[in-house]
Structure formats: structure tokens, C-alpha cells
Structure 1
């Protein structure tokens, strides 16, 4: 489902999406960032997801349409490799409560939080597929 309007609200850090059926959704930037469809976040297969802590204050620096099928946000932390298909955006809209709870539960289980970035020895992200 393709939204009729997309508005970036920098102050409240939400992406507002309006649909033809009258539905309006507000997706927090943080949720969009931690659930990016990119290989950097999702990995290259099941079980390879990378938890994304420390993203509470992330902003969308730029938002570009990709054809008629997706959005490509560039986030203030430098992440810009996720292509958000309209179907994926709508999935996030419809399921954001459950998805958010799952993310917070995973952070807690890993002993991390929304304000603490994950660091690895040597400062490397550990990602090796060549994309950033």
C-alpha cells in the first residue's frame, strides 16, 4: 500500500504516513533505524540480525523516493543503505507496537539500552560484506 502523503517531522522525530483509506501512522525515526531492511542490520540470512542499540536520538538527514516502490532514508548516524519498500513501511506501520516491544526485549536480554551504542574491540563494526 502506497501512502498519499509522507511528512518528516524532525522535532518529534517521526515519519508521518497518510493513506488513501484515511489511516495515518507515525513511525519513530529510531524504529525505522533499528529495523532497517539493510544487510548491515538484517544480515544475509535468518539469525544474522545485528542488534542496534544507542539509536534514541537518530534523525533522518535526508529522505529520497526510489522509483514508485520504496523510500531511502539517510540517518544522522551515517546509515543510508536501507531501501524501505512500501510494503515494508506499511508492515512497520501496522505492527510497530509488537516490533518495538521485541526490539526493547532484545536490547534488555543483551544488557544494552536505547542510549548506549554497541562497540566492539578495535572500533570495527564487524560487518564484512563491503557495504556501510
Structure 2
């Protein structure tokens, strides 16, 4: 079985570009999707159709918006050369950043009798022997 999308006016609509609804689908006044069902129907010359990408539909979703609720255009997609340049610049900045000095690990003395690490006081916690 082959699943296909429907064939109607929404297929030809470009993604993320507002188009006047009156130019697409003539008909009776309708509502803005953001204003909701309680709002008054608006003339189709006052509404914009915007097709957005949707993870559940490869064909996208079309919503009608009034001028007040018209969504902003999507952020521009960064080209691969620009992304590569940004990553290399960030990598160079990290490499040029001053590094903290490496502090060698303190070697703690070991009690010759118990073979346990002696605290900074120099007295073994197990047998009480003083270790220098």
C-alpha cells in the first residue's frame, strides 16, 4: 500500500511565506487561527495563509492569521561554510585561552607499619606512629 498526500491548493503553497487567503481560496469570511473561535469572522482579504513545517506531516500545516498574529519569518538557516568558519573560530578561541597551571598531585606519606595514608598532621590514624 502506498500512502500519498492529498492533492489540493496547499501543495503549491511555499513554506513560511505569507500569502493572502483571498488569492488562494475564495469563499466566505473565516477566522484567524490565533484569535480563536470566539472571534468574529474576517474577510479573506484580511487574512494570511502561512504553511509551516510539521514533524507529523511532510506536507506541512497551513494556518490562517490576521495581521496582528502573523508569525515572524523563520530564522535563516546557517550555510555549511559559515557553520564551519564559526566552529573553527570558536576552536581557535578556546586554544588561545589561558590555561590554568597543572598542580601536581600531593603525594601523601604512608605509615610503614599499617601501610595506610597518613593525614597532614603526620600521625597515623591506625597505630598513632609519627611519620615524617
Greater strand percent: which structure?
Answer: 1
Larger RCO (CA under 8 A, 6+ residues apart): 1
TM normalised by structure 2 equals 0.27
Name the TM-score, length of structure 1 as normaliser.
0.27
More helix by share: 1
